[in-house]
Amino acid sequence: DAKTTQPNSMESNEEEPVHLPCNHSTISGTDYIHWYRQLPSQGPEYVIHGLTSNVNNRMASLAIAEDRKSSTLILHRATLRDAAVYYCILNLLYNNNDMRFGAGTRLTVKP
Amino acid sequence: DTGVSQDPRHKITKRGQNVTFRCDPISEHNRLYWYRQTLGQGPEFLTYFQNEAQLEKSRLLSDRFSAERPKGSFSTLEIQRTEQGDSAMYLCASSSGLAGVEQFFGPGTRLTVL
């Protein structure tokens, strides 16, 4: 079963970097690693995804371990608006792009 | 606004009634997904369409749940004979047909079964 493991919660101070870890030891070669975040009463919002190489976009960076069994979402300067539940998910390419969400990491940002 | 839209945003119904939710995906997206999310949990995948074809429905929670996408554009999710355990947020997402791409989620329909 394509499962990810994340800490239940993390705290950060405003304007400091945040590193959100994720373990996915059962990942297969064709599974993409996706990160989404969800604010209360809203649908999940895409953050970033990757396959093998590290990725950067305007929202965050994704660092993928060489063996692909873990990854880290990096928010370079946390803001209060980054407080959300962050989900690390495997997108199962050859299973109808099935995405299996866990409970995610609740990020609290302190001013 | 060209994002994914869902209607209604909130639905309150009595146990045993049927309910239907609508999802309008991003217009150029050919893939559409339905999820259910209960309090404190991540979204749970229910079913998936590519154009009008329902390619995955084994994860629908029971035979009371059904979904359609008749013309490959909007989709409906119906729950028959609702039960209190069906109370949840129902989320729709869409994506293009490219490999491994992101899914864009709608705001969800919150169902309360009394």
Confidence of residue A3 (pLDDT cuts 50, 70, 90): confident
Range from A13-27, B12-26, B51-65 carrying the lowest mean pLDDT: B51-65
Mutate to test the interface with B, among A9, A90, A99 (most CBs of B within 10 A): A99
The one-character DSSP state at A45 is E
Distances (CA, A) of A105 to A11, A31, A59, B16, B41: 10, 21, 17, 36, 11
In a 13 Å sphere around the CA of A20, the CA atoms on its Cβ side amount to 37
Confidence of residue A96 (pLDDT cuts 50, 70, 90): low
A71: β partners: A22, A64
- Residues of chain A contacting residue B100, judged by C-beta atoms under 8 Å apart: 32, 49, 51, 91, 93, 97
Rounded to a whole number of angstroms, the distance from the CA of B73 to the nearest CA of chain A is 18
User: Smallest Cα–Cα separation from A26: which of A67, A61, A82, A79?
Assistant: A67
Tell me how far the alpha carbon of residue A15 is from its chain's centroid: 19
User: Smallest Cα–Cα separation from B65: which of B79, B49, B44?
Assistant: B79
- Residues of chain B contacting residue A100, judged by C-beta atoms under 8 Å apart: 45
Residue A102 has a CB neighbour count (10 Å cut-off) of 15
Tell me how far the alpha carbon of residue A104 is from its chain's centroid: 8
CA–CA separation, A3 and A99 (whole Å): 10
- Residues of chain B contacting residue A4, judged by C-beta atoms under 8 Å apart: none
| CB-CB under 8 Å, A96 with B103 | no
Mutate to test the interface with A, among B33, B51, B102 (most CBs of A within 10 A): B102
CA–CA separation, B72 and B69 (whole Å): 5
- Residues of chain B contacting residue A62, judged by C-beta atoms under 8 Å apart: none
What's the full length of chain B, in residues? Answer: 114
Confidence of residue B1 (pLDDT cuts 50, 70, 90): low
A33: β partners: A50, A90
Confidence of residue B11 (pLDDT cuts 50, 70, 90): very high
